[in-house]
Amino acid sequence: VQSDLKIWTSIMKSSGVTGTSRKVKDNAARLEGFNAATSIVNLSSQSEQLLVDGSASASSPSSHGQTESLQEECRRLEDVVHKMVAVVTKMERLMTSQRGIRDLEEFQFGPEGRTSPLFHSWTAAETLLDGFRQELKLKQTILQEVAHTATPDLCMVYLSCWLHQPYIPDQNRLTLEALLLETGHRPL
């Protein structure tokens, strides 16, 4: 049991560190993503205006320049989403190892667990991961659609989705803190 505990703590330690660094990384990516998304919304509304005007044909230099910069913005957004994919993949790998430990626990002590539980927040990390997965899916959808959207309202909804991260609720922060507290990464 002693060695078991040691492995556990070391794994949780690494998970805690990844958790924190993930947050930091994510925030940076989010911030970057927000800038790119804003200019995309601006750009697509501009290009939409061009289409409505009908005066600027696709071959005219100004609209050509716009298409190019739209392309450029999309590429930047894509970069951001790629970074997010990497982060979520890392989280998934971590979850797999944790699920393994959980299964091991169940195998050793039955579904009731041991008399003094090793760990309470088993599901916390999974909740976090689910949120991030859904958020990533949302962002990927937005990335595919945003440049092809003609209605300004829908563009705006994409932008707010990107900005406000509907699938990352505020209590995530608390859940993470609880997890860190339980694993001893936060002093009582």
Partner 1 sequence: MIKPAVTSLHQALRKSFQTLENNHKVWRSELEECSPLMVSLGNLAEQLRALSNVQMSGTPLRDFPDLENRLRFKLLQATDTVLTKLNERISSLQSIRDAISNQVTAVVQLYQQSADSLDLSAVTERSPTSPSVADMLEWLQDAERYYRKQFLRRKALLQMLRADDLSLLESAPNRWKSLDSPSEEEQITDTLCRVSFFMESQ
Residues that bind partner 1 (CB under 8 A): 134, 137-138, 141, 144-145, 151-154, 156-157, 159-161, 164-167, 169-170
User: Of 136 and 180, which has the nearer Cβ to partner 1?
Assistant: 136
- The minimum distance between CB 23 and partner 1, in angstroms, equals 18
User: Of 41 and 125, which has the nearer Cβ to partner 1?
Assistant: 41
Q: How far apart are CA 20 and CA 76, in angstroms?
A: 25
User: Of 169 and 184, which has the nearer Cβ to partner 1?
Assistant: 169
- The minimum distance between CB 178 and partner 1, in angstroms, equals 21
For every residue of 143-161, DSSP letters joined together read HHHGGG---HHHHHHHHHH
- The minimum distance between CB 38 and partner 1, in angstroms, equals 10
Q: How far apart are CA 181 and CA 150, in angstroms?
A: 48
Q: How many helices (H) and strands (E) does the chain have?
A: 5, 0
User: Of 128 and 161, which has the nearer Cβ to partner 1?
Assistant: 161
Residue pair 149/158 in contact by the 8 Å Cβ criterion: yes
